[in-house]
Structure 1
Amino acid sequence: MTVWLSRLTLDPRSRAARGDLLGGGSAISLHRRVMSLFPDIEANDARARFGVLFRVEDTPRGCALFVQSTHEPDPARLPDGYGALLSRPLDPLLDALKPGRRIRYRCVANAVRRPGATTREVYELKPVVPLGGRAADEWWRRQATAAGLEPESVLSQPLDAVRGPRGTQGAAAKQRMRHDRTRFDGVATIVDADLLRERIVAGVGRAKSYGCGLLTVAPAGGAA
């Protein structure tokens, strides 16, 4: 199985690109745009079928989507003028991961906790509680450890939450969703390379359909 990492640099002149980023239903639109790069299939979760993870970043070349997948995305499926797509196999990097090596990492994740029913009742908490500050950093350290990493440093930055309707039709169009996001950057040492490869492919945490969970790594001397 080949894993692909793609960068889609959006053209700011494209109305479709601006709509996907800024429109009222941008969370849904962006998810659908990313999935449009892959074949149409009869599946309940095509995202998981093609191993699709993505995140949005501001780069020196403009706004870009970083997309990871187990199927090579097809740029011909984008609207004319939407942007430039560059894909490369990630397998050489995954194969080079070895215990003891230091890497830089980046991950935009939905750092949350789910308190039990009794705790929710006593403290009047919601079923899902977003984490910030030290609590978010501790959450990330647990995730990193579970991914076969020993974090040396953690730099966290809260990002705007993903908000919007849960769907475009029926009852889902009337329901609102919110996924809080935090970007984690830092340096770590690989403890278990197999675990790390598994977590890179599977993603970290929840809200993977809405730009969370993509974990990218690079040698500690380079950019993540």
Structure 2
Amino acid sequence: MPVQLTKIELDDRVRDVRRATAGDQHRILMKLVEESLGGNKIDSPRQKAGLLFRVEETRAGRHMLVQSRCELSWERLPSGFDITGVKDLSPLLDRLSKGDVVRYRIVGSPMKRLGRSDRPRELRKRNGEQLSSDAHELPLVGAAADAWWEKKADQSGLELISATATRLNERIDYRGKRAVRMPAVRFDGLARVGDAEPLREAVANGVGRGKVFGCGMLSLAYVRVGGAGTGAS
């Protein structure tokens, strides 16, 4: 099935919509792919469905962009989640060619995996809190987060022309009494297509970690004369 993008308006007047964590949103969306995946437990269901999502805020309110490679059972969406648009991304992906200039957006989750050789000073958060001895990853901020995106973009076939980073609230999920938190940074800018094939794969499969927290969905749009974009994913 082609890669499909769906826009869902979030009605924050509904309590469950307003209070849903990123983990809650992921679980709601995963219920929509059960029928397409056969309804049975399978390995890596999110990856098989190509399910990615991102929540965005505008002056008009919040909406969710959902990307998938399988049919979703939209009738299973709970109250307060309203579909307002569906788009096939295949024409955009097929059109991508080396040298094309595109506008991009991604909410990434920049993290550094700590090895045994990392110095003790790296085992502290920005606020000075000491990480536990079993902490293996450290959120990246500032220039380190920018460098993370530059590397991921290059691996994804993009040659960055510009990049603006906006730090967002952490993405949260509750597993029992334990809160799992992932950093979130939105990167926007212009880029040139360096290699179209890995770029298609990056759009279809997502980039980096935190996909179940609403991170990793790479959106592209061709740049028109005058700065507007077309064909956004």
Percent sequence identity over aligned pairs: 38
Q: Which position in structure 1 is the counterpart of 2:211?
A: 208
Q: Which position in structure 1 is the counterpart of 2:167?
A: 158
CA distance in 1, matches of 2:48, 2:149: 26
What secondary structure does 1:28 align onto? helix
Q: Which position in structure 1 is the counterpart of 2:130?
A: none
Q: Which position in structure 2 is the counterpart of 1:108?
A: 107
Q: Which position in structure 2 is the counterpart of 1:79?
A: 78
Q: Which position in structure 1 is the counterpart of 2:129?
A: none
TM-score normalised according to structure 2 size: 0.85
What secondary structure does 1:117 align onto? coil
Structure with a larger share of its residues in helix: 1
Select between 137-146 and 29-38 the one with higher mean Cα deviation: 29-38
CA positional deviation for 1:123: 4.3
Amino acid corresponding to residue 178 of structure 2 in structure 1: Q
Select between 6-15 and 127-136 the one with higher mean Cα deviation: 6-15
CA distance in 1, matches of 2:93, 2:114: 35
- Spell out the pairing of 1:139-178 with structure 2 (5 A cutoff): 139-165=148-174, 167=175, 173-178=176-181
Change (3 A) 1:174 1:201: same
CA positional deviation for 1:2: 0.9
Amino acid corresponding to residue 148 of structure 1 in structure 2: G
Select between 58-67 and 195-204 the one with higher mean Cα deviation: 58-67
Q: Which position in structure 1 is the counterpart of 2:11?
A: 11
- RMSD over aligned CA atoms reads 1.8
CA positional deviation for 1:60: 4.8
CA distance in 2, matches of 1:111, 1:10: 26
Q: Which position in structure 2 is the counterpart of 1:56?
A: 55
Q: Deviations over 1:96-135 (max 9, x none)?
A: 1111100000000001111211215574354211111111
CA distance in 2, matches of 1:119, 1:93: 42
Q: Which position in structure 1 is the counterpart of 2:116?
A: 117
Change (3 A) 1:152 1:78: same
CA distance in 2, matches of 1:81, 1:64: 11
